Amino acid sequence: MARKITFSQAINEALSQEMARDETVIVMGEDNAGGAGSPGEQDAWGGVLGVTKGLFHKYPGRVLDTPLSEGGYIGAAVGAAACGMRPVAELMFIDFMGVCFDQIFNQAAKFRYMFGGKAVTPVVIRAMQGAGLRAAAQHSQMLTSLFTHIPGLKVVCPSTPYDAKGLLIQAIRDNDPVIFCEHKLLYGREGDVPEESYAIPFGEANVVREGNDATIVTYGRMVHYATEAAEKLTKDGIDVEVIDLRTTSPLDEETILESAERTGRVVVVDEANPRCSMATDISALIAQRAFHSLKAPIEMVTAPHTPTPFAGVLEDMYIPSAQQIADAVLKVRG
């Protein structure tokens, strides 16, 4: 039975249902409840944007507020995972990865391999990412590709409430470390979400829109701009396929290549900066494996090679727009 809830509520529901099902699932992060040690309301915030609200009272002792110590508590989540727990730790802004990245990429990601297959580290690290809130350079990045690069990590970027719930449930049940990226501007987005629990497998892209004239490959918030561009282009008689990656690691190479081979015209859209991005990664994949099917060079639509600016007018230029995406499709169409 599906009903309309927001992306944020879908995440809360996924956490709640998994916490009900599995007592080893715990939640931790800065102000994931809020009010620790303070005289006022406990669970005052439920996360800086309210995503984890309510869990503190519903699951006593299982939602832990932390001091401002990402290195400490993200590493604690990793250590607890290696010792039989299933922690879901929140890295409030993915931009803060700098202060705790060692515990993610040198510890969690590498335990299984370095220890000869004997470690299981089922930690989920949830992090907000993306631009559009005028939060400026240190609170607006899309750092998906940095995590995707690391063997041993899985990286998930839902674009809809339905995907958010199903992918987070999968992430919690998954026995490998998962980076779960939540785009800030998607939190308020509504969508149909089943009440019951369900898991969406990793490595399965979603073909949001079928078409034979061109392929757009993208993920996260850009899925909606890509879809908007595709709708616009139907007026020009161009039928565009939109692929939502859902997970960048593992990557659904099959779906990407099948579409590229069929349409021969590819636009890759990525809200991140262009160098060493998901955009370049996917472009290289297609160029290597579907080269002879391509009728035009691959087009990439990305943010520029700059930090995210503060002024609204500049940030709006920074974020790829539906118009830019549509123009890119026209370009590959020649």
Partner 1 sequence: MSVSTDLSKDELLKAYRMMRTIREFEERLHVEFATGEIPGFVHLYAGEEASAVGTMLHLNDADYVATTHRGHGHCIAKGVDVRGMMAEIYGRKAGVCHGKGGSMHIADLSKGMLGANGIVGAGGPLICGAALAAKYKKSGGVGVCFFGDGASNQGVIFESMNLASVWRLPAIFVAENNGYAEATSSTWSVATDNIADRASGFGMPGVIVDGFDFFAVHEALGEAIERARQGGGPTLVEVKFSRYFGHFEGDAQTYRAPGEVQKLRDEKDCLKRFEERVVRAEMLTAAQLRGIDAEVKSLIDSAVSEAKAAPLPTAEDLLSDVYVSYP
Residue pair 67/37 in contact (Cβ under 8 Å)? The answer is: no
CB nearer partner 1, residue 7 or residue 147: 147
Report the candidate in 4, 174, 152, 179 with the shortest Cα–Cα distance to residue 89: 179
Stretch that binds partner 1, among 104-112, 131-139, 282-290, 325-333 (CB under 8 A): 104-112
**Length of the chain measured in residues:** 334
Phi/psi at 139 (nearest 5 deg)? -135, 20
Q: How many residues bind partner 1 (CB under 8 A)?
A: 48
Buried b (16+ CB within 10 A) or exposed e, 282-303: bbebbeeebeeebeeebbbbbb
Strand 266-270 to 214-218 pairing? parallel
Which CB atom, from 64 or from 92, has the smaller least distance to partner 1? 64
Query: How many of the other CB atoms lie within 10 Å of CB of 50?
Result: 14
Identity of the amino acid at 260: A
Applying CB under 8 A, does 116 fall inside the site for partner 1? yes
Is residue 120 within the footprint of partner 1 (CB under 8 A)? yes
What are the two backbone dihedrals, phi and then psi, of residue 220, each rounded to the nearest 5 degrees? 70, -145
Q: How far is the CB of 171 from partner 1 (least distance, A)?
A: 12
Using CB under 8 A, pick the residue from 7, 56, 111, 180 that binds partner 1: 111
- Which parts of 13-32 interact with partner 1 (CB under 8 A)? 26
Annotation marks residue 139 as catalytic: yes
Binder among 162, 202, 219, 225 for partner 1 (CB under 8 A) = 202
SS3 193: strand
Tell me which of 57, 139, 183, 224 is the catalytic residue.
139
Kindly give the pairing relationship between strand 299-302 and strand 190-194. Answer: unpaired
> What character string, x for contact with partner 1 (CB under 8 A) and - otherwise, covers 269-308?
----------------------------------------
Quick one: which of 7, 45, 56, 73 contacts partner 1 (CB under 8 A)? 73
Catalytic residue ranges: 139
Q: Binding residues for partner 1, per CB under 8 A?
A: 26, 61, 64, 66-67, 69, 71-85, 87, 102-103, 106-107, 111-120, 151-152, 154, 174-176, 201-204, 247, 250
